[in-house]
Homo-oligomer: A and B are copies of this chain.
């Protein structure tokens, strides 16, 4: 978890690197800052998305007892695709600035592909855990991770559909769905407070961990 935490923390703070003093003529700073609004929106949206992913990641790992090599690769797949998120986000912000309709459709298509890949990596992760109940904690029902799979599958379908609608109809349709998917994952997340209370108080070191 330390490795995963570090990667998500780095990706989430790399977003801020896009916030720079705008290059403007003297006295034009205010309009320069206001013109950067697509970057602010992109920062907010990507931060929220990565925060949601982190909480889902943490919620999954509080139920995992042991990692084998297969699960580590599945986890590395999630980390690889979530590290991509700032890239299509920056591309969308860039096209929002220039406003070319063809480029906007391409950007929405790119974001949809990365979003679908991310959900696909979660599908692989959940499927692996569903097939290896020996890796989950004893208190967790064997069907728990099997029941998580549809949540990931819905994401793959939604991103691909939003990308298709964005490219074929209007980029705005895609963008709206991109903001709704993280919200969906936020509200359906199985938080720490919903896990069996027994997990929290077994040992002194466990109660310390839960407060981290």
Contacts and interface: CB of A to CB of B under 8 A. Distances in A.
Contacts of A28: 103
B90 A26 contact: no
B205 A68 contact: no
A198 interface: no
A69 B11 contact: no
This protein's copies in its complex: 4
Interface size class of A (residues with CB under 8 A): 35 or more
A185 to B, nearest CB: 13
Given A7-B13, A16-B83, A208-B209, 16 more contacts: A6-B10, A10-B13, A12-B83, A13-B83, A15-B83, A16-B86, A16-B87, A21-B90, A29-B95, A29-B103, A55-B69, A61-B212, A67-B212, A69-B193, A204-B205, A204-B206
14 contacts: A1-B212, A11-B16, A13-B14, A28-B103, A29-B107, A30-B102, A30-B106, A66-B192, A66-B210, A68-B192, A72-B191, A204-B205, A204-B206, A206-B208
Interface of A: 1-3, 5-17, 19-21, 24, 26-30, 33, 47, 51, 54-55, 61, 64-69, 72-73, 76, 79-80, 83-84, 86-87, 90-91, 94-95, 98, 100, 102-103, 106-107, 110, 189, 191-193, 200, 202-212
